[in-house]
Every structure is written in C-alpha cells, then in structure tokens.
Amino acid sequence: MKTKSSAPKHEAYGIWLVLVMTAVSISLFAGAAKWTAQSIAVNERNNTYNKTVAAAEAATEVVLSYMSRDFLNQSYSPSRMDYYGHQIPTGDWASDYEFRDNHDHINHTQVSSTSTMRVTNLTSQFAGLYGLAYGCQIKGRARSINSRYDISATVQQDFQLASIPVFQFAIFYAMDLEVHPGPAMVITGKVHGNANIYTRPGATLDYKDDVGATGRIYTNRHPSDPTAPSSGTLKFWKQKTDGVSCLTLPIASNNSPAAVRGILELPPFGENPLSNDGQERYYNKCDLIVMVTQTNISVKTGLWDGWDSVTPDLNPGKTNASFSFISTNSSFYDAREGKLTLLTELDVGKLGTWMTNSATGASVNSDAIYKTGHSLASVYIYDARNSGSKLPAVRLINGQYLPPSGLTVATRLPLYVKGHFNAPDTTVGQTNTASTKPSSLLGDAITLLSSSWNDASGSNSLSTRTPVNTTVNAAFLAGIVQTTNASGTKHYSGGVENFPRFLENWSSGTLTYNGSMVVMFPSQFATNWWITPGTYYNAPTRKWAFDLNFLDYNKLPPATPQVRKLVRSGWSVVSGT
C-alpha cells in the first residue's frame, strides 16, 4: 500500500506568503530605485540650473565691474556697449558654459545704457535723493554645455551710474562725524558719514531724515573726546543704518581726506585739466580766478575761457590799476588761532555790480567774458603772499545780496564771512529761502562774523565782541580739527554744532543758517583745537535747517561736487530667453 505524502497546509501558506512578500519587496525596491533615480535626476537638473543662473549672474557682474570702473574714472561712454558686451567670465568654471546675447551672438552679453545722463530719482539705499545718471541694463545669458542637460538661464540687472550732488545732504562727512549739541537741535535733511558717527546730545536731538554711516552709528562720544557723557534724548524718525556704501569723489588717488583736499589746491604743473583730479579742482571749475602776490592782484577767467586775463576796472592801464571788489589791506586777530590774519577780502556787492557790467570806472565790455554770454557765478581765490607768522585767509563782506546767478567762492585758505550772506530776508529764525540765490563756500575752515564785528576788537576781551543776529544761506564745504588724543591729552573737534566757527560772544544772539554742511578733510592752516565756550567765543542760538532748494537740481550752488556711485535697482531671473 502506497502512502501519499503532502506538506502541511500551514507550510504551503508560508511559502506563498514568502513569495508574495518577495514580489512586493521587489516591487517596492524597484519603485524606490526608480524614485531615487528620478530624484537624483531632478536634483542634478536643479543643481545644473542653479549653477547656470549663477554663471549668468557672473556674466552680468563682469560687465558691471567694467562699466563701474570706467564711470568712476570718468571714462565711461554709452557708445562702448559692444566693448562692455564682449567682457565675459573666464577661468576653469566658465569653460562649462556658453554665453550669448539676445541676438544669439556667442561670447557676448546684452548691455544697454541711456545715451545721456539725466536728472532722475535714485533707487535702493539712495531713495529720496536724485542724481545725474545713466540708466543701464545688463542681461547675462548662460547655457550649460558640459552637463547631461541642455539648460539655459538669463539674469537681468538694472542699475544707475549716478553722480550725486553732495549738497543734497544736510550733513556729509568723509571722516568721523560727531553730533553732540548742548541745547535741543533738529536736523532736517539726510546725514551721511563715510566713517563712524558719534552722537550723544545734551538735550533732544531729532534726526528727521535718514542717517547712514559706512562704519557704525554710536550713541556715545568718541573715545578720544574728553567731554563728560551727556544724557539727552536721541530721536531717529527714519532709517538709521550702519554699513552703508561709501560715497567718494571721482579722483584718481585713494580718496583719503588728505587727497580730497586737492580739490581746493592749485593744479600741479603739467596736470591735464580733463584728468580725473583736474575735473574736480575748483581752480578749473570756477568762472573767475583771483591771484594775489606780494606786488600784484590779477583776475582771469577759468578753464571755460582759456584763463583769459581780465582788465582791472579801477584805473585800467595805469600802474595802480586794480579791481573794485578785491582788497588786501585788512587784518584782525583770530582768538581761536591766536594769530593775526593776512586777508584777501572779496566785496560781494561790488563783485555783483562788476559782473553786471555797471562798475565805476572803465568799461570791461571788451573782455571775452562779456562776449560769450557765460554766466559768472563762481570765484577761486589764491593768495601766494608770504604770510610769515600771520594766518593767510579770505574774507567775504557785503554779501547780503548775491550776483544774479548766485555765487560759489572757493579757496585753499581759511574763509571768513562777515555779516548777512545771501539773506534778502533777515528775519530771525527765517527758514524760507525762496528769495535766496544758489551759493556755496569752500575753504580750509569757515568762521562766521556778525555785521557788528570790529577788526580792532579781535584781540580784546570776549565781552567786548558782541554780535548782532545774523543770517547765512549757503552750503559749506571745509575742513575741521579732528577729535584726537595728542600726547595723552584728549581734544574734541567741536562737532557739527561748531563746524562753523565763531569768535564773538553770541550768548544773546541768534545765527540763522540754511544750507548743507560737508566736511571732507582735516584743516591745514586753521589748526588750533576747539575750546569749550567762554574763552574765545560763546555759542549762538542756532536756528539751523537744511536748504530744501538743494533738492532741486536747477537750484544747486555753482560747481557743486558730485560723488559717483553705482546704484543697483533691480535683479531678476528672466524666463523665456
């Protein structure tokens, strides 16, 4: 008898279960492998795309660097777009990409620029300012050629190459900026510092507009300032920003404060007036050049008219010929500097009369300046006399009413202003500058003297130097004596509140000022440290404001300096290209 053997049922079920589970596992593994492969492919494709975007951006940055370099060096031209477009990335990584422009030209980037500079509002961190700017656009198109995927990407950058007038700032410092007023103070315009800002008021200090420092904004005093900390209140009504872009003049040197001072110096022998430095020098920018020597006073036109000699309007043709608006026989004692001054004095009222060709004496119609129709509005003054122990300086008098087109006066020497300046309305505290003319004053330092100043009282006691209320409407660009620790003794610069210097007992007087305060370099001639009020001056009641006229390009002072900056306004990945 044969016996039929068979596996128990539960063993058969186990075998089938193993087979099913194996099939499921194989299926899951296959799915996972497929998913992994797809995921790897997607990641690889994404990585390739991201790298291609980066390559396209690099193409725009290469072009942008060339355009920015040339603009800062004053050699930029919108006619050179093809030259800029041929600048593409190079190096090992760049060989993995092909660069083309919108017209499919290989090794080329799409670049465009407005044909001329236009006055326009600025963007980005400079919102609220305007500049004379080129509007530019770059499209960098890259294609990956050494990967599994044929991927292209296009990056677009929009930007401005802008010249920004510095007098748009209420306060602009190329060095450390210190603002520590004792009484309450309001700063009504933008504030910029190319280094650090230190601000610690004695009362309330209101910053009504943006405040930015290339370094940091500290709410304490400078480490070398010996003044005891105060406990006033700071109010920042708008942006307060550390680490903003540095704003520099387009000169060829390193743009240090000492180098920037060169804009007020005579050009060195052989310098091309159209060079970077040459274009920024006031000697080349001003309409009239006044030269004073031991034996002579001469006036000539500026670069615009080939430095043509101008005929004296008093006793022309005679040995004692001279100009009605220039004199050199005044002097006074500056108690801060502890020196007598050696003055070249400019009578602004007489200058205006002379400029409008109604001067007393011989006619000057034969001079080229009256044939071209050129508007005379700026004067550069250079005093080459041997000053000995005296302080060589320039003083402006009779300046309440300016010439028709306004007035800029520049000198390398300390500059004094006596009485009302550019102030048809001398109401105390008046801030309406609708009737004023565009004006700026530039020098080694700027000292304001009231209309009651008497030269004979300069060396007398402070109590004898009593001012009358005075109004000055002009942008200032000058140097300061910086806060420092000299041989263990600390000295305070005096801060913005003492940037305009005083020599009178202003305890009961008011100084009304509308303008812009710009500090670019250390003073070279007027170098004595600021001293706490009560010694050579007492501070005035300050009715100060930023001149809103300077926010209109057509109302800027003649020959206003302009810093140059690349202003980025837009970045995007462009599809479909």
d(CA 9, CA 407): 114
CB 321 within 8 Å of CB 314: yes
Q: How many CB atoms lie within 10 A of CB 228?
A: 6
Q: How many CB atoms lie within 10 A of CB 456?
A: 9
Q: How many CB atoms lie within 10 A of CB 97?
A: 24
Q: How many CB atoms lie within 10 A of CB 320?
A: 7
- The residue ranges of every structural domain in the chain are 44-165+566-574, 286-539
CA 419 to chain centre: 29
d(CA 536, CA 505): 8
Per-10-residue mean pLDDT of the chain, 577 residues long, equals 54 66 63 57 82 94 94 91 94 90 91 95 87 95 88 94 96 97 96 97 96 97 93 94 91 81 95 92 96 94 91 84 94 98 97 73 45 81 96 98 95 98 76 84 98 96 96 97 95 97 97 97 97 96 96 94 92 80
Q: In what order do the strands lie in the sheet with 204-207?
A: 185-187, 204-207, 233-236
Q: How many CB atoms lie within 10 A of CB 563?
A: 23
- Which two three-digit tokens encode residue 522? 């250390």
pLDDT of residue 7: 52
pLDDT of residue 126: 86
The DSSP secondary structure of 230-245, one letter per residue, reads ---EEEE-S-EEESPP
pLDDT of residue 125: 80
Secondary structure E strands in 37-129: 97-100, 110-113, 118-121
Strands 415-418 and 333-334: unpaired
CB 232 within 8 Å of CB 205: yes
Q: What is the pTM of this model?
A: 0.88
DSSP state of 389: T
d(CA 26, CA 362): 112
Q: Which of 146, 136, 142 is nearest to 577 (CA)?
A: 142
d(CA 567, CA 159): 6
d(CA 317, CA 92): 74
Q: What angle do CA 127, 132, 138 make, to 5 degrees?
A: 80
Q: How many CA atoms lie within 13 A of 190 on its CB side?
A: 21
- Bridge partner list, 362: none
- Which two three-digit tokens encode residue 315? 């006793």
Strands 541-546 and 510-515: parallel
d(CA 185, CA 234): 10
pLDDT of residue 12: 66
- Which two three-digit tokens encode residue 122? 């600025």
